[in-house]
Amino acid sequence: MDELDLLKKDWKNRDSDYPKLSYNEIYKMILKKSSSIVKWIFIISLLEFAFWIAISFLLKGTSFSGNMEDLDMNHILIPITVISYGVLIYFFYLFFRNYKNISTTDSSKTLMENILKTRRTVKHYVIFNLVSLIIGAFIGAFYALNHDQNVVNQLQAASANGEVFAIYAGIIVGIVIVLIIVIAILLLFYWLIYGILLKRLKGNYNELKKLET
């Protein structure tokens, strides 16, 4: 039983041997826990961003980086990267603002609204990351099919043999399988990290509703 559960027990059981606690004291405890959760959401999102930045730097100079340069995608890759970073920075701002709003709120109704707002922000953040991954994968596949000389040669040979449909089908199936695996891994990560934090926030929201009734 954590500290908040102990306070809830005291609130409901006036015959308890523990010191009698007021509504405001229990509210402050929920506020403290909610603020801590939102702070961790903000920190984890920054760490996730730093992780992907580090990966991109580690890939520089590798064969993968060379293959990407051969595809001549800079004219589309740079704008997409700038837009993606801009959207992510906006999400970081929202996470930080949610943290500040929850930390300084002085009413249970406002706290409940901020908790719901934080949950929506996290869900939109996860959806944006997954959609960006899918769009990026298909853009990369399109450029590989049209600019990767090895792939182009294979398609030309397959076309001459009447097997071009099988090649395209194999490529599409391969992309879909890889995407499913990557998305499943990301969903597991998001569920283990953000999902647990959001579940705790929802618990705090439900406790606030009980206090209001």
Q: Which of 182, 207, 210, 183 is nearest to 37 (CA)?
A: 207
Please state, in angstroms and rounded to a whole number, the distance separating the CA atoms of residues 84 and 89: 9
Residue 76 has pLDDT above 60, yes or no: yes
Q: Looking at this protein, which amino acid is placed at residue 39? A: K
Q: What is the pLDDT of residues 12-43, one digit of tens each?
A: 555 445 455 677 777 888 888 999 999 999 99
- Looking at residue 21, its pLDDT comes to 60
Angle, to 10 degrees, between the axis of helix 108-147 and the axis of helix 23-59? Answer: 10
Least confident span in 1-5, 88-92, 158-162, 196-200? 1-5
Q: Which residues 6+ apart lie within 8 Å of 138 measured at CB?
A: 175
Q: Which of 148, 185, 155, 153 is nearest to 170 (CA)?
A: 155
Residue 6 has pLDDT above 70, yes or no: no
Structural domain for 205, as ranges: 3-212
Residue 80 has pLDDT above 60, yes or no: yes
- Looking at residue 18, its pLDDT comes to 46
pLDDT, mean over the chain: 81
Residue 180: pLDDT band (50, 70, 90) is: very high
Report the pLDDT averaged over residues 45-72.
Answer: 76
Tokens 């293959």 belong to which residue? Answer: 67
Counting the structural domains of the chain, the total is 1
The reported pTM is 0.77
Helix (H), strand (E) counts: the chain = 8, 0
Alpha helices in the chain (DSSP H): 3-12, 23-59, 63-70, 74-104, 108-147, 149-160, 164-190, 196-212
Share of the chain above pLDDT 90, in %: 25
